[in-house]
Amino acid sequence: MERWDKPYRLRLFSPIEGELCPSDRMMEENIFLTAYEMELYEEPIRDSLKQAELLGENNRKLRQYFSDEIEMPNIRSLSLEVESYGGRLWSVLQAESFEKLTHEEVQRLSETWEKLTVGGFIKELRGKLIRLQFQSKV
CATH (domain of 66): 3.30.70
Distance (Å, whole) CA 121 – CA 104: 23
pLDDT at residue 115 in the model = 81
Share of the chain above pLDDT 70, in %: 76
- The answer to the question of residue 77 being in a domain is yes
Distance (Å, whole) CA 6 – CA 124: 33
Q: What angle do CA 107, 83, 99 make, to 5 degrees?
A: 35
Confidence of residue 49 (pLDDT cuts 50, 70, 90): confident
Longest dimension (CA), the chain: 63
Q: Which of 84, 93, 83, 89 has the alpha carbon at shortest distance from 62?
A: 93
- The answer to the question of residue 16 being in a domain is yes
Q: What is the pLDDT of residues 50-80, one digit of tens each?
A: 887 888 887 788 888 787 777 888 888 889 8
Burial group, residue 46, by CB count within 10 angstroms (0-12, 13-18, 19+): middle
Asked if the model's pLDDT at residue 86 lies above 50, the reply is yes
Q: What is the domain count for the chain?
A: 1
The pTM of the full predicted model, rounded to 2 decimals, is: 0.76
Q: Which residues is 129 bridged to in the sheet?
A: none
pLDDT at residue 135 in the model = 47
pLDDT at residue 90 in the model = 92
Supply the range of the domain harboring residue 68: 3-117
Asked if the model's pLDDT at residue 120 lies above 50, the reply is no
- The answer to the question of residue 75 being in a domain is yes
Name the H helices within 1-138. Answer: 35-38, 42-51, 60-69, 103-117
pLDDT at residue 107 in the model = 92
Q: What is the pLDDT of residues 11-22, one digit of tens each?
A: 999 888 887 776
pLDDT at residue 37 in the model = 92
Question: Which amino acid type is present at position 13?
Answer: F
- The answer to the question of residue 73 being in a domain is yes
pLDDT at residue 41 in the model = 87
CA atoms within 13 A on the CB side of 32: 2
